[in-house]
Amino acid sequence: MKDQTTELSTTEPSTTERYIGIGELARESGCKPETVRYYEHIGLLPSAPRNEGNQRRYTRAAIRRLTFIRHSRDFGFSVEAVRELLEMADHPAMPCQEVDTLAKRHLAEVEARLARLTAVRDELKRMINQCAGGSVGQCHIIDVLSDHRLCHQSGPHGGAEIIG
Amino acid sequence: MKDQTTELSTTEPSTTERYIGIGELARESGCKPETVRYYEHIGLLPSAPRNEGNQRRYTRAAIRRLTFIRHSRDFGFSVEAVRELLEMADHPAMPCQEVDTLAKRHLAEVEARLARLTAVRDELKRMINQCAGGSVGQCHIIDVLSDHRLCHQSGPHGGAEIIG
DNA sequence: GCTTGAACCTCTAGTGACTACAGGTATTAC
DNA sequence: GTAATACCTGTAGTCACTAGAGGTTCAAGC
């Protein structure tokens, strides 16, 4: 189940390994060349070695590291959290408690977002269903948006920044 | 149930209405003075009249309009959608079909986000539960992040930008 | 060897929806 | 009169990229 390819550092290519360009790396790991350059710029990926024409050359190790990054981002971890996860993944002998803590904290945030988003969905559904379809002046949707007291939820819904 | 305060335009204060400052307006409608100025800047709120000292003065109508904006934003409507909703609310005689369409489109987006966020939550839970608590090298969380094939979900989770 | 087109390079600016700050002016309470 | 607070404008920063300008390098075909 577990092999030796877990290490995510991109150092030391083996003697005859094939190098790939940034385009192929991007395709293989599901992102764009611009994003790869951006990740290098902010230090999630190490500076890639260059060929004589100043173009970046990558090995398979870079694909693994970038895939890890993309996958972590897909899970909603922030770039800073990904930075910490990479740091941990680069030290396989360390205890994984910190990884666990990070994941649990993120889960808690995801669940909070889910709760707020669910409340928003329910309220949206309710206001759409109650719209009788007349003029704007009689529109229940506009009413609810005008007056918080018409909401079934008690508190505010949580702010747009929280629900996406 | 319905009164004459639905109109959201901030024109024509009645002869003896009390004016309030930007701070009180912000408090009353649940946002910050900076945000009020920002909304004026992007044209969601009309330019407020000023007193002799160049400070903005508002009436109750501004509170209603700003509350509508904040409430719509809390529901996750984009600023551009809020702009359209305000335009509609300002014309109460028009049919409310467009309002309905806007709300339904937004509901569909919210439901899509909910589905992706739920998938992320389930996968996060699974990987946290399967972590035996040893070293990073044996950590199931790191494994799953390294290798998409270990996910129960088939496709990608949808991208961080989508889940918030 | 030459040409063409794709891929690559750097650097800057833009996105959305605010938020924060700097450096100044006005109002209000005592 | 003075001190604290509220307000003003304008600019820059946030997050995680994305897009574009303007140029260079590479790979394939002739």
pLDDT score of A16 more than 60: no
| Alpha carbon distance A163, A154 (integer Å) | 17
Interface test with B, best of A96, A98, A157 (most B CBs within 10 A): A96
Closest-CA distance, B118 to chain A, in angstroms, reads 7
Mean pLDDT of chain B: 86
Contact in structure between A125 and B103 (CB atoms under 8 Å): no
Phi, psi of B20 (to 5 degrees): -120, 160
Q: Is the CB of A164 under 7 A from strand D?
A: no
Q: Is there contact between B52 and strand D, defined as CB under 7 Å from any strand atom?
A: no
Give the fold, CATH level 3, of A4-89: Multidrug-efflux Transporter Regulator; Chain: A; Domain 2 (1.10.1660)
What is the predicted pLDDT for the residue at A111? 96
The token duo for B92 is 């109460």
Domain parsing of chain B, residue ranges: 22-89, 97-163
Kindly state the tokens that stand for A65: 């590291």
Residue A113 · residue A121 · CB < 8 Å: no
Question: Cβ of A92 and B136 within 8 Å?
Answer: yes
Which of the residues in chain B have pLDDT under 70?
1-7, 9-17, 152-164
List phi, psi (to 5°) of A7. Answer: -50, 135
How far apart (Å, rounded) are the C-alpha atoms in residues A162 and B103? 19
Fold of B22-89: Multidrug-efflux Transporter Regulator; Chain: A; Domain 2 (1.10.1660)
- Pick the closest to residue A35 from B164, B141, B159, B142 (CA basis): B159
Supply φ then ψ for residue B95, to 5 degrees. Answer: -65, 150
Chain segment B66-101, per-residue pLDDT in tens: 999 999 999 999 999 999 999 999 999 999 999 999
- Distances in Å between the Cα of A35 and the Cα atoms of A45, A99, B124 are 11, 25, 25
- Render pLDDT for A55-107 as a digit per residue (tens, 0 to 9): 999 999 999 999 999 999 999 999 999 999 999 999 999 999 999 999 999 99
With beta carbons less than 8 A apart as the criterion, state whether A6 and B146 touch.
yes
